[in-house]
Amino acid sequence: MVLSPADKTNVKTTWDKLGGHAGEYGGEALERTFTSFPTTKTYFPHFDLSPGSAQVKAHGKKVADALTTAVAHLDDLPGALSTLSDLHAYKLRVDPVNFKLLSHCLLVTLACHHPAEFTPAVHASLDKFFSAVSTVLTSKYR
Amino acid sequence: MVHLTADEKAAVTALWGKVNVDEVGGEALGRLLVVYPWTQRFFDSFGDLSSPDAVMGNAKVKAHGKKVLNSFSDGLKNLDNLKGTFAKLSELHCDKLHVDPENFKLLGNVLVCVLAHHFGKQFTPQGQGAFQKVVAGVANALAHKYH
């Protein structure tokens, strides 16, 4: 699955409209993931996962910052995310199924906060973008 | 069987009460066909699905979405017996429609996105959690009679 020029435009335009809230949305998406899909919590035994957790918010910002980097390098996701790809393959080893769960909750978060932007076409482009990022992050797993 | 806490059942009932089932059905089915275009394979007879606007405006998509979601709504009234409620539909989707059950999961998640889109911040993480259980339960019930 390849991002078309229209997909890239949709992703960039939408991400620009997040208005500095990307970090907050990253935290919310994580909270939604842990609530809806409790098995995802197994990767964070060392975290306080209660609502409002500062650790979850900080981690959400980290995730959002990485996505912002990805948005700036849509033409070379493998290059831009290479270090993160190594990290996920050799250290974190998060089962690939979980990327879909977080991606879904990122979509839900964006739909909640930016209804005007979340048209069907943008929904499709964002889903493809998160899928492309997930593929890069799991590309060195074996 | 879907195990919802009392709070989750209340959240689902409260939110669903505010849903325009006919409209949300069309929206959810339309978005499924746009976001996951391979799902269009089941709808050759629906006419123009060539662009997001064409899909979302397509009368057959809206009508079928309405049918699907009204059926889902029936499920919500029978959370303690989803397998029984959807037994006949499960047989139909396997034997006559030949729909891969993966598609039920895709539609369930698109429905969650549509609810988030409509309700915004009212669609809390806890509310989403309750709905994820429901859509997973319905998807499992619809796959239950497959052979």
| pLDDT single digits (tens) A76-104 | 999 999 999 999 999 999 999 999 999 99
Crossing angle for the helix pair B125-143 and B102-119, to the nearest 10 degrees? 150
DSSP for residue B139? H
Quick one: which of B73, B69, B93 has its CA closest to B142? B93
CB pairs under 8 A between A and B: 62
Q: Which fold has domain A5-138?
A: Globin-like (1.10.490)
Option in B56, B109, B117 nearest A118 (CB): B117
Asked if residue A19 has pLDDT above 90, the reply is: no
* Mean pLDDT along residues A39-63: 96
DSSP for residue A3? -
Name the residue type at position A128.
Answer: K
List Cβ neighbours of B63 (8 Å cut-off, separation of 6 or more). B26
List Cβ neighbours of A1 (8 Å cut-off, separation of 6 or more). A128, A131, A132, A135
Option in A51, A105, A120 nearest B30 (CB): A120
Quote the pLDDT of residue A75: 97
Rounded CA gap, B126 and A45, in Å? Answer: 21
